[in-house]
Chains A and B, each alone.
Chain A
Amino acid sequence: MLIAILAITLIGFLFGLGLGWSCGKFRVDSDPVVEQINDILPQTQCGQCNYPGCRPYAEAIAAGEAEINQCPPGGDAGIQALADLLGLEPLPLNPENGAVKPKTVAVIDEAACIGCTLCIQACPVDAIVGSAKLMHTVIESECTGCDLCLPPCPVDCIEMIVKPSAPGEWIRPRPPDTGIKTGGSLLREVSA
C-alpha cells in the first residue's frame, strides 16, 4: 500500500520535473515587437499587403522585409501608429496595395445564394455560416470587410455595404455649405 503510494508519487514527481525542465529547454521566444505591430494592424486578414494575413505582415515588418505603408484598411492612422512604435518616418499609403475605403461588411443576397460553400472557404475569419446546398449568411460582427469572398462567388450574390458605425466610431459629418460666411461676418449680416 505504502510502496504503491510512494511509487505513484515518485513517477508523478519525476514526470513533472521532466516536463518542467523541458518547458524551459524548449521555450519558444516569440518576438514582442511582432505582437505590438500585430495589435496595431486592423486584423481584417484581407491580404492587400501581399501577405497571407495580418500576423505574417507584422512578422515581415519586424524583420525589416516590408514597409509600414502596405495596409489600406489601417489607413493613415495605422501608418502613423506603426511609425510611432518603430521610430520611423510615416509614409503615404502605397497605392499598389489599394486605397483607403470606408469600413464595409459583406451581405449575401440569400435568395440568390446557391449554397456552393466557396465563400466560406475564402473567408479568412470564418464569418460566413452555411452548408453545402444550403443558404449562407454573414455574421456581421465577425466580418472584417476584406472583399475576399467576392471573387469566388459564382452567382455574384455578395455585396459590400458601408458598415453602419457604432456610437463610439461615429464622426460628425461636416455641415452642408450654405454659402453663409462664418465667424464675425455672420453676426454682422444677421444684425444688418
Chain B
Amino acid sequence: MSEYLLILVSTVLANNFVLVRFLGLCPFMGVSNKLEGAIGMSVATLFVLTLSSVTSYLLSTYLLKPLGLEYLSTLTFILAIATVVQLTEMVMKKSSPLLYRILGIFLPLITTNCAVLGVALLNVQEQHNLLQSALYGFGAAAGFGLVLIMFAAMRERITYADVPVHFKGAPIGLITAGLMALAFMGFTGLARL
C-alpha cells in the first residue's frame, strides 16, 4: 500500500514530469496562457495518460515481451496512444458534449505530448506491474495538471504585470517556469523509488 502511495507522491511532487524530468514542456508552455484552457488540458491528459499507460503495459507484457520485440516499444506505444486519444474523443463526444466542447483541440493534441510516451516507456524500464503502471500514469498526469494550472494562474497575472518590454510574453514565462522548477527541487528526497 505504502509503495503505491510512494509512486503517487513521487510522480506528483518529487519526480514531477514537467519540472523535474522536463517532459511535456510543449503543452506546458503552449496552453498555459489561460487558466480555463489549462484546466481542460489537465483533465484530458489525466484521462488519456491513465488509459494509455495501462494499454501500453498490456501490449508490452503480453505481446512484445513474449515475441522478443522490445525494440518496437516506441512505435507500438505511439500507435496505442493515438488510438486511446481517438477513442477518448469519441466517447467524450457521446457521453459529455459539454466537456468535449471545452477541451476542443487539446484532446487530439495530447497524442504529441511527450510525457505520455515517456510514462509508457518508463513503465517498461522500471518494470512496473499493471496497477503500478496505472498509478504511475495517473500520478504523472496529476503532477502535470498541478504545475500546468499553477503556471497558467501565474501567467494570467504576469500578463498585467509591469514586465520590462524585452521580457514580455514567452521570455518571462520561461523564467517563471525555471523558478518553479527550482521550487520543486525542494521536494527532492521526499519520496525515493
Contacts and interface: CB of A to CB of B under 8 A. Distances in A.
- A and B: real partners? yes
Contact of B87 (A8, A12, A22): A22
Given A3-B67, A11-B63, A26 B160 contact: no
Given A3-B67, A26-B93, A132-B160, A11 B76 contact: yes
B94 A7 contact: no
Contacts of B87: 18-19, 22
B105 interface: no
Interface string B170-193: 000000000000000000000000
- The size bracket of the interface on A is 10 to 19
B86 interface: yes
Given A11-B59, A11-B63, A15-B79, A23 B90 contact: yes
A3 B59 contact: no
A111 interface: no
A28 interface: yes
B150 interface: no
Nearest to A15: B83
A26 B91 contact: yes
B72 interface: yes
Contact of A7 (B72, B86, B90): B72
Interface in B54-93: 59, 63-64, 67, 69, 72, 75-76, 79-80, 83, 86-87, 90-91, 93
In which size bucket is the chain B interface? 20 to 34
B80 A15 contact: yes
Contact of A11 (B79, B86, B90, B160): B79
A4 interface: yes
Contacts of A23: 90
B159 interface: yes
B76 A8 contact: yes
A22 B91 CA distance: 8
Nearest to B86: A19
A18 B159 CA distance: 45
Interface in A12-43: 12, 15, 18-19, 22-23, 26-28
Interface string B145-186: 000000000000001100000000000000000000000000
A8 B72 CA distance: 8
A3 B69 contact: yes
Contacts of B80: 11, 15
Contacts of B83: 15, 18-19
Contacts of A28: 93-94, 97
Contacts of B160: 132
Contacts of B76: 8, 11
A27 B93 CA distance: 9
Most buried by B among A19, A26, A27, A132: A26
Given A4-B67, A4-B72, 14 more contacts: A4-B69, A7-B72, A8-B75, A8-B79, A11-B76, A11-B79, A12-B79, A15-B80, A18-B83, A19-B87, A19-B90, A22-B87, A23-B90, A26-B93
Interface of A: 3-4, 7-8, 11-12, 15, 18-19, 22-23, 26-28, 132
11 contacts: A7-B69, A8-B79, A11-B63, A11-B76, A11-B79, A11-B80, A15-B80, A22-B90, A28-B94, A28-B97, A132-B160
